[in-house]
Chain A
Amino acid sequence: MKQYEYLAKQALRDHGIPIPPGRLVNTPEDAYQAVQEIGPAALKAQVLVGGRGKAGGIRFASTPDEARDVAKAMLGMDLKGYTVERLYAEGKLDIEREFYISVTTDRNKKVPLVMASLAGGVEIEDVDDSQIVRQWVDPRVGVLPYFGRELAQRLGLTGTLARELADLVVKLYQIYRERDAELVEINPLAVVNGHLMAADARLNIDDSALFRHKNLELIEEGSELEKKVHQIGLAFVELDGDIAIMANGAGMAMATVDAIQYFGGKPANFLDAGGGASVEPTAQALDVLVSMKPKVLFINIFGGITRCDDVATAILQVKEGTGIPVPLVVRLVGTNEKEGVALLEQAGISAYSDMAPAAERAVQLAGEGRS
């Protein structure tokens, strides 16, 4: 779960990492007061999209009156599909240098990874590898100050900056560990008046660990439809095509989306109905797909734990309930296949047993694909 910048900054401050003076802004009046208190400031839209500055999501105000006007214009504006509801007013900084530092999880080495660079201020992906220092953390030991001193030395820092960096990386790792972060990143890590300060920050919390961070406000990304399906407890991603897809299991759902595209069709979504989903969630998922008004509905089930008769029952339930007003292609094999196929046939739906011809048929019915 990505955290807004102001929440990431709060986390840094709570752990003793210096941040610029800042105020959360909910109304134009807040903006007026903020600039009165902290002086000329940047007003930053609190949205979870990259490239916020270029899209007009960061503006400057020198006086309280100007801040009020700017806030009035920004609050409620649309930024790459997200409505700006909050701003963060932050004092303007006189930045001398821009560094980069982050703690994340190295999936291959299966330990935390600290990355740092003196070439900060740009996305780390755009920094040449030779300018990035990487140090892996032994999770049994954690990050002690010596780890930070070694990091500073590898970066070529000396004096005050080296001391401050060593101290900062200890605290950054505490945030990573204590808050179950997937990523905690300071970029740029600014040098202001000869001292380190976190000018911008990212903090992503591991969704699986939210049960031990109950104080966190839930921040849901994605479209309204995606949020709705997530609430049913299913994995769902909206795509821009018109063939709606349901499959069971994440890998299978990905492969099904791929198969539609392979035959030249345009998938409308990724939907994992679960490796062992029963009738009710499956029917709910189908209702959502029907509500998307696709050209074709394609259901691809390999029944392992999922039972084919449960899936068939769910399909019939939706057909008789809200109705399925678009062509339906079903591929159904595995556990209780005979029962499932028989149920569908009674309702005049014939099922495929192989994935390839089923996917090809779905694409054909949508009037897409190779001619």
Chain B
Amino acid sequence: MAVLLTKNSKILVQGITGNQGRFHTKQMLAYGSQVVGGISPGKAGDTVEGVPVFDTVETAVQKTGANASIVFVPAPFAKDAAFEAMESGIQLLVMIPEHIPVQDSIDIVTRAGELGVTVIGPNTFGIISPGEKTKMGIMPNHIYQPGPIGVVARSGTLSYEIAFSLTNGGFGQTTVVGMGGDPVVGQTFISVLRHFKDDPDTKGVVMVGEIGGSAEEEAAEYLKTFGKPVVAYLAGRAAPPGKRMGHAGAIIERGRGTLESKEKALTAAGASVVTMPWQVVDALREAMAHV
């Protein structure tokens, strides 16, 4: 079992003929993802890695029955691509690009709310469900394995580090969700945790957070009634205030978004908060033992 992305998800790749689109189409196919079509205006009739290319999402959906799409187009065109997908009936939308204007993200997320579309990202590594052998994203294929742990993270490489340590520590994953590093993204920790709560195969959750905003604090409130063990690791302990730490959203602004505040809230909600990424597996082992 998995959340949000299953082996039945039929996937389109928007921007399939670009370098990134092409490379990751190959990687997704290699992992087992059901990539049924790609979009590249003016290139209908071509194929990429055997996948048929269409001019519009509308046609692609008609011809393939796709219900999910992953967007690789450059940031200035991402809003257009996202709306095209949503208006064509796509239900799961993964937005890879970084540097999408926040106003565009607000519009995308607002429309998604009206249509009931699940948006992952922007500025995300995507989503992967190892047990279902499917992924929509740019994460490396070899570091995951099927198992009982749900992972929800704000950042890419850090979540790879942690997912790999889980795999090596004997904890496979149901689904790993990358929320994205931007200030406005489709998911919150809470929206993803709800799915993990409802998924009987997910027995425990690892949260990978960071400084900036108050998504972790809000999640803490929800965790009080979550009912499954949660281990959290938060990055940015040593970050100075007022500086963006790579992610547009990772900034302590005017006293808000500090790590201390997040750590305090999560600990009070019963999560096991660790200081360093390599401590996640031991903390999880302990937390799971008490179930």
Residues of A with Cβ closer than 8 Å to B? 105, 107-108, 110-112, 123-125, 139-140, 177, 180, 182, 206-209, 211-212, 235, 237, 239, 247-255, 257-262, 267, 270, 272, 275-276, 302-306, 333-335, 354-356
| Cross-chain contact A251 with B276 (CB below 8 angstroms) | no
- The number of chain B residues touching the other chain, given as a range, is 35 or more
| Cβ–Cβ contact A180 & B238, under 8 A | no
Chain A residues near B184: list those with CB within 8 A. Answer: 105, 107, 110
Q: Using Cβ atoms and an 8 Å threshold, which residues of chain B touch A209?
A: 101-104
Task: For A237, list chain B residues within 8 Å (CB).
Answer: 239-240, 243-245
Q: List 11 A-B residue pairs with CB atoms under 8 Å apart, sorted by A's residue number.
A: A107-B214, A139-B110, A177-B103, A206-B102, A237-B245, A239-B240, A251-B154, A254-B245, A275-B156, A334-B140, A334-B164
Decide if B101 touches A206 in the complex (CB within 8 Å).
yes
* Interface window among B2-10, B41-49, B60-68, B248-256: B248-256
Interface of A is mostly: mixed
Query: Could you tell me if A254 and B250 are in contact, using CB atoms closer than 8 angstroms?
Result: yes
Which residues of chain B come closer than 8 Å to A270, judged between CB atoms? 239, 243, 245-246
Once A257-B238, A355-B277 are accepted as A-B contacts, the answer to whether A110 and B103 lie under 8 Å apart by CB is no
User: Complex Cα distance A302/B213, Å?
Assistant: 26
Contacts of B239 in A (CB 8 A): 237, 254, 257, 270
Pair B237/A261 contact, Cβ less than 8 Å: yes
Could you tell me the distance in whole angstroms from the C-beta of A36 to the nearest C-beta in chain B? 38
CA distance A247 to B157 in the complex (A): 9
CB-CB under 8 A from A111, the residues of chain B are: 106, 110
- B106 close to A250 (CB less than 8 A): no
B159 close to A180 (CB less than 8 A)? no
- Taking the nearest CB of chain B, how far is it from the CB of A27, in angstroms? 31
Report whether A258 and B157 are in contact in the complex, using a CB–CB cutoff of 8 Å: no
* B24 → chain A closest CB, angstroms: 9
Q: Are B157 and A302 in contact (CB under 8 A)?
A: yes
Q: Are B106 and A112 in contact (CB under 8 A)?
A: yes
Q: Are B100 and A208 in contact (CB under 8 A)?
A: yes
Contact between B210 and A254 (Cβ–Cβ < 8 Å)?
yes
Q: Given the interface contacts A107-B184, A111-B106, does A208 sit within 8 Å of B248 by beta carbon?
A: yes
Interface centre among B109, B181, B235 (most CB of A within 10 A): B235
Indicate whether B107 reaches chain A with its CB closer than 8 angstroms: yes
Residues of A within 8 A of B194 (CB): none
Residue in contact with B139 in the complex, picked from A253, A304, A356, CB distance below 8 Å: A304
Note all chain A residues with C-beta closer than 8 A to B243: 237, 270
A140 closest partner in B (C-beta): B110
B93-135 residues with Cβ-Cβ distance < 8 A to A are 99-107, 109-110, 125
Q: Bound state CA distance, A108 and B183, in angstroms? A: 9
Within 8 A of A (CB), among B138-195: 138-140, 143, 153-161, 164, 181, 183-184, 188
Q: Give complex CA distance A139, B114 in Å.
A: 12
- C-alpha gap A67/B154 in the complex (Å): 51
Q: How far is the CA of A258 from the CA of B275 in the complex (A)?
A: 9
Residues of B within 8 A of A239 (CB): 238, 240
- The CA-CA distance from A209 to B210 in the complex, in Å, is 24
Minimum Cβ distance to chain B for residue A274 (Å): 9
Residue from B238, B240, B249 within 8 A of A258 (CB atoms): B238
B92 contacts the other chain (CB 8 A): no
Q: A258 touching B236 by the CB < 8 A rule?
A: yes
B86 at the interface (CB under 8 A from A): no
Q: Which residues of A contact B213 (CB under 8 A)?
A: 107-108
Q: Is the CB of B103 within 8 A of A334?
A: no
**B208 interfacial by beta-carbon distance below 8 Å:** yes
- Measured CB to CB, the closest approach of chain A to B283, in angstroms, equals 14
Please give the distance in Å from A370's CB to the nearest CB on chain B: 14
> With contacts A111-B106, A212-B101 known, is A249 near B158, CB below 8 A?
yes
Q: Residue of A at shortest CB range from B217?
A: A108
Compute how far the CA of A126 lies from the CA of B238 in the bound complex, rounded to whole angstroms. 25
B29 to chain A, nearest CB (A): 17
Q: Residue B215 at the A interface, CB < 8 A?
A: yes
For residue A108, which residues in chain B have a CB less than 8 angstroms away from its CB?
Answer: 188, 213-215, 218
